[in-house]
Amino acid sequence: MEPLVSIIIPTFNRAHLIVKTLNSVIQQTYHNWECIIVDDFSKDKTVDVLRAFCNQDKRFKFYVRPEEQVKGAPTCRNIGLFKSNGDYVIFLDSDDTLMPECLNNRILEFQKNHEQDFLIFPMGIKKDDAVLKRDIQESSIHLIDFLNYKLPWSIMCPIWKRGFIINLKGFKEGYPRLNDPELMIRALLVPNVKYKVFNNVEYDTVYYPNITDWTLLKEKYFNSLLLFIPDICNELELRKNSKLKKNLNNYLKVWFRDFYFPSNQNLLHENRILIKMFYKRGITSLTKTIGLTIMYYSYIVLSYLRRVLIKNIIKITDNKN
């Protein structure tokens, strides 16, 4: 009998997008699948859409996150995971799609590589009117890539043996962001983990970038770091790999480069918390922390002086003076 594949999709207010995603599941040439969608208390018509698909095809099942459980995609994915019956599991976001041969090709490869715990396949990224394949960069140590925030693949790229992902206990709940790299780091830290990357094949999933509220994204990244960094450091210490903690420094770099500096906000409280946490957790050395602190406060002073100078230049050139 063909193995059963469980496709798990968390969703929240995606009535306008999830139809395309679910249709891509129906269009699979491989038919032995179940698709479990877990709604995170949507306020739009998402639940109505899900009911319609479940009535159309009994392979679709949907659940609503219990109110007492932590809100967020990681919780919804875990609910789907522990309700699944498949031999293999794929996680898909509610605005992404599968190519028609996705499940068929992945199962064929697992049958040839049955000793592996999970397999990784490339995805496509929708850009304007084209879909561009995102190659998975060759690397001897993908664990270091994830610790360095290089993130070589995304959530829809792996197909997992269900038993393996169950043993990992699924996703850490409560993360607004960074739950994908957190899971991958734990997976790659499992002793004698076996996985295989298929980069020399066509993409079999498509990611559709969407415009996100930047301010909300900044807050989510900050709050996620407060969970992610301690959790990963604890995991590395548990696995006797504390020396790898220094690689996490790039997550702080991303905070400053992509969120703090573009924001033109003070964020003194947030920056002090992060600088202290990265030092206390043994990620940044004392020397680097002192240098970073000096440069950061110098930046604040110079930014203040710049604002004062701009104000005075405008004032002195005013016709009223």
The fourth-level CATH superfamily of domain 5-207 is: Spore Coat Polysaccharide Biosynthesis Protein SpsA; Chain A (3.90.550.10)
Digit-coded pLDDT (tens) for 169-198: 999 999 999 999 999 999 999 999 999 999
Residue from 93, 94, 156 nearest 124 by CA:
156
Q: What is the pLDDT of residue 129?
A: 86
Q: What is the pLDDT of residue 257?
A: 93
CA distance to 94, 119, 146, 171, per residue, from 189 (Å): 28, 16, 11, 15
pTM comes to: 0.92
Q: What is the pLDDT of residue 321?
A: 56
Q: What is the pLDDT of residue 195?
A: 96
The Cα–Cα gap between 92 and 85 comes to: 17
What is the residue type of 258? Answer: D
CA 3 to chain CA centroid, Å, is 27
Interior angle at CA 253, CA 245 and CA 223, nearest 5:
80
Beta strands in the chain (DSSP E): 5-11, 33-39, 60-64, 88-91, 97-98, 118-120, 123-127, 130-134, 158-161, 195-197, 205-207
Residues of the chain with pLDDT under 50: none
